[in-house]
Chains A and B, each alone.
Chain A
């Protein structure tokens, strides 16, 4: 099996090499996008065949699709793999359509015993869909699922390549998103806030609780994306961050499949919700049916006493 992988972050490329090793690929070719020679050094040491490097920072998804089509003519890959990012989904989907081959996004597992069998996230992230595909295929891997190989074996040739920029979509501006400065994925305790909160000011209550517990505040998608009450890097779920704290305390969160996909690996989940039928109670260890505005202050008060004993 031959693999052609691409990505614009070193970490993503490392994970993709890890994935290619699980495929037992005998050839791995890499297209590194908008990266520098330093960024691909680690990738080059993992026993890949060749790295094609686009140093240009200003490339569009069109440019990457065109380049991958050009490379696939010489490499003849069975699998063209990219990272599970928004650009990654678009690029692999378009590539699949152009080459008239299937695309499988969000791959979480692979089996090559009889046929190429891929497991992908489905049903709002609550399930996996097991699919047998006939190569060649384009796919994206779910990030954080495949470990980069540890063994270093030589250094691959790095060839700088340029893109033609024939695409019909032009980039006119790029702006960094605001960051919260706290990595909730690294926090052992996370207090999650949802639409049960009525205003941005009220999130103070969750922050106080997080402070007392020595944790951080995360949120459901609407709190960050729709209301902008917290930065987007605090958003937990399928399309946000996947976290694995020892305690996740969800306040005013209903427990939609896409949210819970981000806290599957938490050790203990506590839910506070006024609606006793909220789906979150089925997916929690401890459920408190209560108004968070009334319960949390009482809980916080007791907690502080216990912690200072």
Chain B
């Protein structure tokens, strides 16, 4: 085993489709192809945590990503562009897997590909990921990825300490805070509360465009065939039936009056209590 005093850190970052810019057809199907990509919100918290570890212990940060939304010909450069946002925060190296076999694939396949990529890069001391991706919210990838690599995973971490290749982490569960310990290498999924991701300047983003992004296909990673045991049939929007009435008036008094009248009509408040 080689002894390092600095840390080799991997950040798993997803180019997710933006759940706040939904496009649907007349049959309520979500047209994912028409929705823009965005870096999954909490992956920036994973990156921020990586930067803090590097600042304290030294080392290098690699961003690992797999494209899962098609069509590939258009999405490849779009994914590279959104990854710049996270690279600009301070990544040393970036690796993106682009392969038809991953499009609309399930997390089992994506985690296998990312695990093979991590192995190809010689393995890392710590892997940081988000608690859930914005689009699929599956909270599966970090756990599966860790199992494939055969290392521990600590999920939903809101506080992380590293000392002599040991991790102490506070997991935020529904009713309790659970403090756990393990040895590195390990996979950590972070909650959105663990830190406040730093802002990036326009200059940093411009510089990020000069950094190369290494690209891989599944066969580059030694994966020749993927068996699909989950077949995605459709993504259907849950229709929102709301009145969308704009309460307008010359003054706040008038608007308040109108809103109160509406709430009385709706039967949710009653005059006289």
Contact = CB atoms under 8 A, between A and B. Distances in A.
Given A132-B230, A225-B192, A286 B175 contact: no
B138 A290 contact: no
Given A284-B244, A288-B259, A122 B229 contact: no
A268 B245 CA distance: 11
- At the interface, is chain A mostly helix, strand, loop or mixed? mixed
Contact of B236 (A103, A130, A133, A288): A130
B242 A269 contact: yes
Interface string B131-169: 110111111111110111000111110000000000010
Nearest to A85: B174
B153 A90 contact: yes
Interface residues of A, number: 89
A112 B245 CA distance: 41
A131 B230 contact: yes
Contacts of A62: 152
Given A86-B139, A309-B271, A96 B232 contact: no
Contacts of A267: 266, 268
B111 A97 contact: yes
A94 B152 CA distance: 10
Contacts of A101: 229
B76 interface: no
A225 B244 CA distance: 30
B266 A105 contact: no
Given A175-B179, A307-B270, 16 more contacts: A89-B139, A89-B140, A90-B155, A96-B108, A97-B108, A103-B107, A120-B138, A122-B135, A131-B231, A173-B178, A177-B176, A246-B268, A256-B20, A257-B22, A298-B256, A303-B256
Interface of A: 60-62, 85-87, 89-90, 92-94, 96-98, 101-106, 117, 120-134, 137, 167-177, 189, 213, 221-222, 225-226, 238-239, 246-247, 256-258, 260, 264, 267-270, 279, 281-290, 294-295, 298-299, 301-303, 306-309
20 contacts: A61-B155, A86-B139, A90-B139, A96-B108, A97-B108, A102-B108, A103-B108, A106-B138, A122-B137, A124-B19, A126-B237, A127-B30, A127-B236, A133-B229, A168-B183, A169-B154, A260-B240, A267-B266, A287-B247, A290-B255
| 7 A-B pairs with the lowest CB-CB distances in the bound complex, closest first | A124-B19, A97-B147, A93-B143, A89-B139, A173-B179, A257-B19, A93-B140
